[in-house]
């Protein structure tokens, strides 16, 4: 069900849940003022309670209110990337953020989205937690239709059209004065060098376990079994590939876009994974013959997770 901004504000102020567009993917929003609504989000998504949520705000000052100590590089990062697809994990005053949103950690994740609808809403409501608007484990939702598929036609959706980036925010975690990337995302690792003076290490599975609990889980996966192939010419059967390549052995090609435009590929990726399910396709081969740096790295990581067997 499509709703207006005023209705979304009203529902959230009553402790209800609403789907909200962001520039990355759609989110399922609940007000930070309603721990019961936050619990409801975990239930609705089937999300493990040890996987914390991102707090979304409209201004940096709102974040500073929660944070225990502000890292030296915070200003550089916030000026360079906010509003936009960056999430920062910071130590917080735990009395100010409901424990279920933090999964009982002493840190919380923060993001200032740039999507005009999300921003207009946040101005009205104040801080909102917003996990991606999909059933846990499924590909994230980048269009209102995807939300209806997962949560039903009556679910309240603030319609912002298709999400421009199509992949989640990049998450940085401060580990002993060095930022680490704990979730690859819409901002490639190389883009941080200017703001930080160094290339942040990508640390998605350190020896002590992941710094980002979400990395523990199977994610972004369609029902179809995906086979990842680097020998693009030999892809056969149902193929997820590129519009400028010829797949002589393919029975059917789902095109992600041109092989030299990772931003276009990122925008289409989840919609294509969801389309496989709509068409009840049981297996597909994915053309993985693309570079392993920049935004491609995030695309590859999402596909690798999507291809993991269920566990």
* Whole-Å CA distances, 254 to 144, 239, 278, 279: 21, 6, 13, 12
Residue 111 interacts with ligand TXA (CB under 6 A)? yes
Per the CB < 8 A criterion, the answer to whether 155 and 72 are in contact is no
Q: Is residue 212 close enough to count as binding ligand TXA by CB under 6 A?
A: yes
When the beta carbons of 171 and 238 are compared against ligand TXA, the nearer one is 171
Instruction: Answer yes or no whether residue 105 interacts with ligand TXA by CB under 6 A.
Output: yes
Q: For ligand TXA, give the closer residue by CB, 102 or 297.
A: 102
- DSSP secondary-structure letter at 107? E
Asked if 73 touches Mg ion (CB under 5 A), the answer is no
Q: How far is the CB of 134 from ligand TXA (least distance, A)?
A: 8
Q: Are 158 and 113 in contact (CB under 8 A)?
A: no
212 binds, among Mg ion, ligand TXA, none (CB under 5 to 8 A by kind): ligand TXA
Residues 132-191 that bind ligand TXA (CB under 6 A): 132, 168-169, 171, 173, 183
Give strand ranges (E) for the chain. Answer: 2-3, 18-20, 27-31, 54-56, 86-91, 107-111, 128-129, 157-158, 170-175, 178-183, 201-202, 225-229, 237-241, 250-255, 283-287
Find the binding residues for Mg ion in span 130-149 (CB under 5 A). Answer: 132
User: Using CB under 6 A as the criterion, which residues of the chain lie in contact with ligand TXA when the complex forms?
Assistant: 22, 24-25, 27, 51-54, 85, 87, 89, 102, 105, 107-109, 111, 113, 130-132, 168-169, 171, 173, 183, 211-214
């Amino acid at each position: 069900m499509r709703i207006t901004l005023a209705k979304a504000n009203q529902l959230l102020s009553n402790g209800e849940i609403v789907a909200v567009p962001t520039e990355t993917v759609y989110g399922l929003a609940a007000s930070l003022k309603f721990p019961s609504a936050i619990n409801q989000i975990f239930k609705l998504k089937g999300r493990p309670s040890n996987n914390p949520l991102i707090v979304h705000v409209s201004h940096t000052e709102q974040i500073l209110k929660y944070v225990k100590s502000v890292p030296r590089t915070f200003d550089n990062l916030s000026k360079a990337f906010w509003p936009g697809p960056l999430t920062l994990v910071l130590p917080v005053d735990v009395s100010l953020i409901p424990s279920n949103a933090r999964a009982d950690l002493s840190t919380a994740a923060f993001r200032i989205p740039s999507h005009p609808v999300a921003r207009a809403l946040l101005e009205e409501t104040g801080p909102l937690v917003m996990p991606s608007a999909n059933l846990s484990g499924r590909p994230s939702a980048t269009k209102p239709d995807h939300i209806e598929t997962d949560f039903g036609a009556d679910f309240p959706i603030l319609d912002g059209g298709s999400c421009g980036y199509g992949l989640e925010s990049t998450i940085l975690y401060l580990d002993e004065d060095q930022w680490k990337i704990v979730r690859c995302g819409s901002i490639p690792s190389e883009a941080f060098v200017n703001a930080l003076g160094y290339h942040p290490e990508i640390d998605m599975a350190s020896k002590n376990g992941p710094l980002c609990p979400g990395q523990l889980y199977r994610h972004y996966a369609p029902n179809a079994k995906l086979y990842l192939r680097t020998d693009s010419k030999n892809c056969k059967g149902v193929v997820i590939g590129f519009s400028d390549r010829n797949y002589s052995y393919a029975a059917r090609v789902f095109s992600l876009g041109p092989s030299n435009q990772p931003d276009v590929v990122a925008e289409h990726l989840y919609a294509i994974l969801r389309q496989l399910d709509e068409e009840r396709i049981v297996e597909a081969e994915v053309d993985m013959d693309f570079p392993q740096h920049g935004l491609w790295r995030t695309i590859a990581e999402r596909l690798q997770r999507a291809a993991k067997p269920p566990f």
